[in-house]
Amino acid sequence: MHAVAFQNLSAIRKKTGNESDMAAADDRQSILERAMGGAQGIAVEHFDHIRRINDVFYDQVKISDQKAAYIFTFMLALLVTSTESRAVFTWSRYADADLSTIVFSGLLAFALVFSMVSAILVVLPRRVDKATSLFWGAWPHHREGFRKAAETRDIDYLFEQYMQNADAIAAIASDKYRFVGFAFRGLLLTVIAYVALLATR
């Protein structure tokens, strides 16, 4: 009898657990329905799109850092492995050299430094004027706001946070890619100056 009672109790608990899972799923569906066609008229396509925008922008920020790392690594390898590149930073290179050697040596030295500094500026940490709850540094300021939005199931709060975060990432990406462009120009100038210097030696 005890065994039967235990089995019945287990069945009741399992049924209750399933009902709880279904209720949670219904709640999530209700929230999704509000996003799809709530009072504010936020369609699920727009909500998904702004999330996708955040993901794409974030990936582009990571790509900019990777490009900067490649350029910096190339420049560093050129300095370490090439005697000609290291020599342009010594006074003896310019003391008794002809005009063309002096010009191309100075150009190479400038291009190397310019490219490496630009690459470093790409990965330099940045601050934005208006950070969202998606940034860990601003989380303490947004924690209570997020809690209240969660209690009221405020879809507009989430949508606005994604919008503001997209603005912040776009500003960061724009600044990063500006220095990526400088680094690539420095790389091109480095190659031209290096080849020209070898041709005059």
Cβ atoms of residues 61 and 165 within 8 Å? no
Provide the terminal-to-terminal Cα distance of the chain, rounded to the nearest Å: 101
Between the CA of residue 30 and those of 36, 154, 155, 160, 187, what are the distances in Å?
10, 12, 11, 19, 54
Residue 109 per-residue DSSP state? H
Statement to judge: residues 20 and 113 lie in one domain: no
Number of Cβ within a 10 Å radius of residue 194: 20
Domain of 50 in residue numbering reads as 39-200
Statement to judge: residues 83 and 162 lie in one domain: yes
Statement to judge: residues 16 and 51 lie in one domain: no
pLDDT per residue over 22-67, tens digit each? 555 455 445 455 544 544 567 788 889 999 999 999 999 999 999 9
Statement to judge: residues 72 and 117 lie in one domain: yes
76 against 95, higher pLDDT: 76
| 39-48, 132-141, 174-183: the lowest-pLDDT one | 39-48
Statement to judge: residues 79 and 161 lie in one domain: yes
- Tokens read off for 40: 């504010």
Rounded Cα distance between 180 and 71, Å, is 9
Statement to judge: residues 113 and 181 lie in one domain: yes
Rounded Cα distance between 17 and 11, Å, is 10
Rounded mean pLDDT, 92-116: 91
pLDDT at 10: 47
Statement to judge: residues 147 and 107 lie in one domain: yes
Statement to judge: residues 30 and 117 lie in one domain: no
Number of domains in the chain: 2
pLDDT at 155: 86
Rounded mean pLDDT, 189-194: 95
pTM as predicted:
0.72
